[in-house]
Amino acid sequence: MNEHLTESDISAWVMGDRSNTHVTECAECRIEVAAMEAALLEFRASAHELAAGQTPVVRVAEPRPWWPQLALAAAAVALLLAIPAWQRAERERVAKQEAADTALLRQVDAEVSRAVPGPMEPLVSLVSWDGSNTQ
Amino acid sequence: MEMTLEAEQARTATDFESVVREHWPRVFRFILVSLRDRNDAESLTQDCFLKAYQAWGRFRGEASVSTWLMRIAVNQLRDHARNRRLQFWKRTRTNSDQFNDFHDIPAGVSPEASPEKRAAAKQQVRAVWKAAASLPEQQRTVFLLRFVEDLDLLEIAAVTGLKEGTVKAHLFRALQAVRARMSEAYE
Contact residues, chain B, for A10 at CB < 8 Å = 179
Confidence of residue A120 (pLDDT cuts 50, 70, 90): confident
pLDDT at B115: 77
- Tell me if chain A has a CB within 8 Å of the CB of B100: no
What class is the B106-187 domain? mainly alpha
Q: Where are the domains of chain B?
A: 1-93, 106-187
Helical residues (DSSP H) of chain A, grouped into ranges: 7-14, 22-25, 27-51, 67-112, 121-124
Nearest CA in chain A to B104: A50
Q: Does the beta-carbon distance from B49 to A45 stay under 8 Å? A: no
How big is the A-B interface in CB pairs under 8 Å? 103
Contact residues, chain B, for A60 at CB < 8 Å = 13, 16-17, 20, 53
Nearest CA in chain B to A37: B147
A40 → closest Cβ in B28, B49, B147: B147
Q: Does domain B1-93 bear CATH number 3.30.420.40?
A: no
Query: Is residue A127 scored above 90 in pLDDT?
Result: no
Confidence of residue A7 (pLDDT cuts 50, 70, 90): confident
pLDDT at A52: 85
pLDDT at B52: 92
Q: What is the mean pLDDT of residues B33-46?
A: 91
Phi and psi at residue B103, to the nearest 5°:
-80, -30
B106 → closest Cβ in A14, A49, A58: A49
Tens of pLDDT along A33-67? 998 999 999 999 999 998 887 766 655 555 566 77
Listed range (A1-5, A22-26, A76-80, B62-66) with the worst mean pLDDT = A1-5
Nearest CA in chain B to A60: B13
pLDDT at B73: 96
Higher pLDDT, B178 or A18: B178
Please tell me the distance from the alpha carbon of residue A25 to that of residue A3, in angstroms, as a whole number: 11
- Tell me if chain A has a CB within 8 Å of the CB of B65: no
Confidence of residue B18 (pLDDT cuts 50, 70, 90): confident
pLDDT averaged over chain A? 82
Name B98's bridge partners: B37
pLDDT at B96: 42
CB contact set of B77 (below 8 Å; sequence gap of 6+): B31, B34, B35, B44, B137, B141
DSSP letter for each residue of chain B? -PPPHHHHHHHHHHHHHHHHHHHHHHHHHHHHHHH-BHHHHHHHHHHHHHHHHHHGGG---SS-HHHHHHHHHHHHHHHHHHHHHHSGGGGGS--TTB-TT-SSS---S-TTS-HHHHHHHHHHHHHHHHHHHHS-HHHHHHHHHHHTS---HHHHHHHH---HHHHHHHHHHHHHHHHHHHHHHH-
Confidence of residue B166 (pLDDT cuts 50, 70, 90): very high
pLDDT at B153: 94
pLDDT at A20: 84
Q: What is the dihedral of CA B128, B132, B134, B136, to 10 degrees?
A: 150
What letter would DSSP give residue A5? Answer: P
pLDDT at A135: 47
Query: Is residue B35 scored above 70 in pLDDT?
Result: yes
Q: What is the mean pLDDT of residues B144-162?
A: 95
Tens of pLDDT along A65-78? 677 888 888 899 98
Query: Is residue B131 scored above 60 in pLDDT?
Result: yes
Q: Does the beta-carbon distance from A45 to B29 stay under 8 Å? A: no
pLDDT at B51: 92
Query: Is residue B119 scored above 50 in pLDDT?
Result: yes
Q: What is the dihedral of CA B167, B168, B170, B173, to 10 degrees?
A: 170
Tens of pLDDT along B61-110? 778 899 999 999 999 999 998 887 666 555 554 444 455 556 666 666 66
pLDDT at B83: 82
pLDDT averaged over chain B? 83
Structure ipTM: 0.83
